[in-house]
Structure 1
Amino acid sequence: MAIQSALFSKVLRDRSLEEAVDLTAEIGYDGFEPMCRAPHLAVDRSTDEVADLRERLDDHDLDVPCLATYTGAYVGTSRSECEAQVEALERFLEFATLLDCDFVRHNPGGPAPWKATDQDVETAATWYQRAADRAAAHGVTLLIEIHARWLSETISGTEQLLSAIDRDNVGVIHDAGNMFLVGEAYGAESVDRLGDDLRHVHVKDEQLIADGDNRGNGNENENENEDGDGDGDAHGAFRLETADGLRTYRPRRLGEGEVDHAPLFEALVAAEYDGFVTAECSVPQDEPADDDAIATHELEQLTTLIDNAN
């Protein structure tokens, strides 16, 4: 199986789950990666609703490469909330079985490695082990996304966490956009370093607007990749505290920002990666038809990247 394309349904977040599936297929994607919160695949969906989703996906010949959940984030959280996160994950594991999906994204939480203590890593790993054991009972692999402000912000941080978790059914989501934000190498070197732990890939483009040294002044906002919110003069801009200081970025469509994905795709082909690459563009959507245009553009760019790498 060659590299295949998928769309993260967050791009179509203003549409119903059914409309999002239909449009994803109409545009021409091979896969559909559900955003696991309202209005899409929220935890309170019934078994019948998920069975209906599976039938709709089958009708469109769409695979589900991964369930993009927002479960986890164990550090600095009460025991009862951690327990609740594991129980929420259990429900998504049931959904994964119904949808014939092997991978579920599960968040280890923050802080970033350059802020984290050994105790933070131990806490996240202990709870993640419990989550992974639940997933193993369903035949599912949990995926840790390389993500700003998480313990998995960098490859070295991710490797440390994987070692502490020590479970065969835990892998990594490569995300060049997220890695660009924190100055992490995201090309061939990253593919080589992750090796067999690399199980899934997300792609999006970003652009640096400003680079300051006012780290830790309290004005930094959560990465827009999670919340869709930004702060700054440029449309959709957001501020991010990194190990090198406070920086301002804005999301862009693939090929219009500063993230050069070509070396990544060449490395994936060389490594014989045969999974999905999911587009998750976060640019602001101002008009009702923007999501259609964005999703179409991202597929065109993905197709070009795949074709050029082969």
Structure 2
Amino acid sequence: MKFSVFTASTPDWTPEQAVAKLAEQGWDGIEWRVTDQADADVPGFWAGNRATWPLTGLEDHLADIDRLTRGAGLDYSGIGGYARSFEHADVARLIAATAALGAGRVRVTMPLLKTGDYRDLFAAARKDLEWATAEAAARGVTVLVELHHETIASSASAALRLVDGLDPAAVGVIHDLGNLVIEGHEDHRAAFQLLGPYLQHVHVKNVAWAPQATAADGTVTWRADWATLRAGQADVGAYLAALREHGYDGWVTLEDFSTALPLEERTRDNLAYLRSLLA
């Protein structure tokens, strides 16, 4: 397996700092966050993230992206796009950029459950993916559907329904360990078997549920929050073992949104921990 970092989780670093630090720590690759984001006084994961490239005018930044990435000796594990499946112009822009960079894979996000009737959203997203798959195939790129809570594809079973019958060379699924703690968990081995050739990419982070409030009648409400790889509810070691047993030997991309450790210490420790689990 090869290890990379998704720059959504490195908000404090500029692109120059990100490639330098990740290369020095021994990571194999990087997954660039690409989106038009809000400004923030303090860099954050979702706003003011310094390691994010803008979607608008992305073409003007491709030479810099490639110079930094290749110059540091890093590979692309993919491009972390945020365009929704129905935003065809933005999806086409991401596919073209991914092809130009030789980055191979690009995430296309699925509709949120809260935006409509599930049945209608699912049917429309399937048509969108048929279009995106054709676009990707023409450029030698794979579009990726991430298993993500609060979307129409939170589980492997749902994602398989969405992509089944499409060309697995042009469309695949990101199996995301941390997201599945929040919603969509299925036995990992069964999920890998179900996805078959559509298992194209893996994201790893961890999550822990904790009591948020207790009502007067004793009813407890719970809240999911990001946790370190060691402290979350998902067993990362068992997960990697299941991937290896299945024969997966592709990218494992870290997107650790916990903040217990400073960023540089966090990324360094995560790589050491993952390698120890595979030793």
TM-score (norm 1): 0.76
Q: CA deviation at 1:246?
A: 6.5
Residue 111 of structure 2 is aligned with which of 86, 109, 112? 109
Any conservation in 2 of the 1:18–1:53 contact (CA below 8 Å)? Answer: no
- The aligned amino acid for 1:290 is P
Any conservation in 1 of the 2:34–2:53 contact (CA below 8 Å)? Answer: yes
Does residue 279 (structure 1) correspond to residue 277 (structure 2)? The answer is no
Any conservation in 2 of the 1:116–1:151 contact (CA below 8 Å)? Answer: no
Deviation track 1:109-136 (CA, whole Å, cap 9, x = no partner) reads 1218xx9532221111112222222222
Deviation track 1:127-179 (CA, whole Å, cap 9, x = no partner) reads 2222222222211111100010111111221122113x734411100011111
Residue 81 of structure 2 aligns to a residue whose secondary structure is: strand
Deviation track 1:53-110 (CA, whole Å, cap 9, x = no partner) reads 212222222110111100115xxxxxxxx4xx21112222222123211111001212
Alpha-carbon distance in structure 1 between the residues aligned to 2:120 and 2:214 = 28
Change (3 A) 1:171 1:212: farther
> What is the aligned residue count?
259
* 1:134-149 correspondence runs (5 A): 134-149=135-150
Alpha-carbon distance in structure 2 between the residues aligned to 1:118 and 1:212 = 34
Alpha-carbon distance in structure 1 between the residues aligned to 2:207 and 2:156 = 19
Alpha-carbon distance in structure 1 between the residues aligned to 2:118 and 2:184 = 21
Alpha-carbon distance in structure 2 between the residues aligned to 1:119 and 1:249 = 28
Deviation track 1:10-62 (CA, whole Å, cap 9, x = no partner) reads 12112222221111112210010001125422213454531222122222221
Change (3 A) 1:258 1:35: same
Change (3 A) 1:177 1:69: same
Any conservation in 1 of the 2:175–2:202 contact (CA below 8 Å)? Answer: yes
What is the root-mean-square deviation of aligned Cα atoms in Å?
Answer: 2.5
Change (3 A) 1:205 1:186: farther
Deviation track 1:215-239 (CA, whole Å, cap 9, x = no partner) reads xxxxxxxxxxxxxxxxxxxxxxxxx
* Residue number in structure 2 paired with 1:290: 262
* Residue number in structure 2 paired with 1:86: 88
Bigger mean CA offset, 44-53 vs 297-306: 44-53
Does residue 264 (structure 1) correspond to residue 239 (structure 2)? The answer is yes
Any conservation in 2 of the 1:129–1:167 contact (CA below 8 Å)? Answer: no
Residue 10 of structure 1 is aligned with which of 8, 11, 24? 8
Unaligned runs of 5+ in 1: 74-81, 215-244
* Residue number in structure 2 paired with 1:236: none
- The aligned amino acid for 1:305 is L
